[in-house]
Amino acid sequence: MTVSINPLVLFDDIDTDNPIIVAVSGGSDSIALLLLVSSWAKSVDATIQVVTIDHGLRPEAAAEAGFVSGVSEGLGLPHLTLAWDGIKPDSGISQAARNARYELLEEFALDIGAKTILVGHTANDQAETILMRNARGEEGQQGRGLSGIAPLMLLPKRTRLVRPLLNVSRSELRAYLKEMNQSWIEDPSNSDEVYERVRIRNTLGDDQKRIAELCKFAKVSGELRKSIAVAASSILSEHVTFSQGPLYALPDHALKDVPVAVKRLVLQVMIATVGGAAYFASEPSVAKLLSNDFEDRMTLGHCVIEKNRGALRFYREKRNLPSIVVGPGDHVLWDGRFTIENNSASSYFCGPLSFDQLQALEQARGRKFDIKPRAVLGGTPYLCGDGDDVILPFIKGFEMPAKMKLSLTVRSIEHFCPEYDFSLLDFIDALKTRMASFGHVN
């Protein structure tokens, strides 16, 4: 069987102005990606850096990295192994390993000036993902969960993660490797049915017709997800206002005659922005906001949502707010909502403002802060350095300390953002710009 895979087509939209990282584990998919990238890079004069992640979970990992290094050397490409050090969690190891892998890859990308990371997910991976999410009951997610694996995703610091093999099956890639007389490594965990993906993979087998159908379904679902996101971001960009506190508002008319799926996403984005959760609130919980059961006020995902004079207003509830010390050089996330960078030589305390502190601060300033409802102030952060005055970044009359930066962070959108949601990312970026013009937030 002769396999025809054209690297020039696969990598046609890859930017070659900066170094390109290829993540290779040693399995058939990533080794095939490596060979294809090598062929393409020579024709377009691209700079390639091969990287293997050693998660420290299996004793064979070092030898596998050595195998990838040898293949890379044979292709004339530099190779580096990055290790996931430290204590591993007792549960959720697969998710933790994934996060660690992408964090290591992105940090290295930033170090060498790379803007793009290539990974070897295939059509089989896409089909398996759709089946797994469907089995979990995500068929009602209006195209979000069942959009599957996105061809392009942005990592937290905006490095592009590209999956050029999503339309190529594993059997095609293995046939290609055999033609090239290139071996690969079989990870024993790929046959361990303790893992959900392995069970799904064994059930799916090499049914090329079904794999193609599932990939087509993922593409259609992705297009639906993108269209809903575009409509939601348009409403958010045009109608959301924010004021001191911060307090966000959305007029009722903004959601009039809008499809339910779009309304739901608008509310999910607002709740995530205000409450700081890493994931969107579930559809059933948000559905109550759209029903007759929602009268005046409810709390969801640490976000208070209440009706007020023809609008919904959103603010952080005064519960489970952390208190932290931000030392010199620290870069931390407070309450899942705000990233604080301390480029000064001093330490700062950041935490919620008690109402006793609030009253004392207002008495010292000889005025009450003009914020309604007053409950908004319960969820606002304050900063205080050694011997310095208390600073409220979201209240008029306060300025951020020199060399301190506070910026909005919306993890549920910004961290691992698939291309289907780029319009939502644009809304968050615009919101950050508006906040910066507020005068107190950098």
**Is 407 a residue whose pLDDT tops 60?**
yes
CA torsion sign, 100 to 223 to 145 to 7?
Answer: negative
Range in 85-94, 141-150, 377-386 the model is least confident about: 141-150
CATH of the domain at 11: 3.40.50.620
Which tens digit of pLDDT belongs to each residue from 284-297?
899 989 988 888 99
Does residue 214 lie in a domain region?
no
- Do 197 and 157 share a structural domain? yes
Does residue 216 lie in a domain region?
no
**Is 140 a residue whose pLDDT tops 50?**
no
Contacts of 354 (CB under 8 A, 6+ apart): none
- Do 86 and 230 share a structural domain? no
- Do 250 and 192 share a structural domain? no
Token pair for 269? 């984005």
Q: What is the pLDDT of residue 3?
A: 67
Single out the residue in 257, 282, 316 at which a domain terminates.
316
End-to-end CA, the chain: 59
Q: Which residue has the higher pLDDT, 304 or 358?
A: 304
Model confidence, pTM: 0.92
Range of the domain at 173: 7-206
158 falls in which pLDDT band (50, 70, 90)?
Answer: very high
**Is 91 a residue whose pLDDT tops 90?**
no
Q: Which residue in the block uniquely carries the two structure tokens 């309450």?
A: 335
Q: What is the pLDDT of residue 115?
A: 98
Which tens digit of pLDDT belongs to each residue from 230-249?
999 999 999 999 998 899 99
Contacts of 284 (CB under 8 A, 6+ apart): none
Range in 62-71, 185-194, 258-267, 307-316 the model is least confident about: 185-194
**Is 264 a residue whose pLDDT tops 70?**
yes
**Is 54 a residue whose pLDDT tops 70?**
yes
- Do 378 and 348 share a structural domain? yes
Note the helical H segments in 26-169.
28-44, 61-74, 93-112, 123-135
Overall average pLDDT of the 415-419 stretch: 96
**Is 375 a residue whose pLDDT tops 80?**
yes
Radius of gyration of the chain (CA): 25
- Do 162 and 49 share a structural domain? yes
What does the alpha-carbon distance between residue 270 and residue 283 come to, in Å, rounded to a whole number? Answer: 14
Q: Which residue in the block uniquely carries the two structure tokens 């207002």?
A: 362
Contacts of 163 (CB under 8 A, 6+ apart): 118, 119, 120, 121, 149, 150, 151, 152, 153
- Do 139 and 20 share a structural domain? yes
Token pair for 209? 């017709």
Question: Percent of the chain at pLDDT above 90?
Answer: 72
**Is 302 a residue whose pLDDT tops 80?**
yes
- Do 173 and 64 share a structural domain? yes
CB 435 within 8 A of CB 408: yes
Number of domains in the chain: 3
Per the prediction, the chain carries an average pLDDT of 92
Does residue 197 lie in a domain region?
yes
Question: Percent of the chain at pLDDT above 70?
Answer: 97
Q: What is the pLDDT of residue 271?
A: 98
Which tens digit of pLDDT belongs to each residue from 180-204?
999 999 877 777 777 888 899 998 9
Single out the residue in 294, 316, 338 at which a domain terminates.
316
**Is 138 a residue whose pLDDT tops 70?**
no
DSSP 353-407: PPHHHHHHHHHHHTS----SSGGGGGG-EEEEETTPPPB-TTSTT--PPTTEEEE
Does residue 288 lie in a domain region?
yes
Q: Which residue has the higher pLDDT, 146 or 191?
A: 146
Calculate the alpha carbon distances from 208 to 124, 129, 248 in Å: 9, 15, 49
- Do 172 and 36 share a structural domain? yes
Q: What is the pLDDT of residue 293?
A: 82
Does residue 195 lie in a domain region?
yes
What does the alpha-carbon distance between residue 434 and residue 410 come to, in Å, rounded to a whole number? Answer: 15
- Do 156 and 74 share a structural domain? yes
Q: What is the pLDDT of residue 94?
A: 83
CATH of the domain at 290: 1.20.59
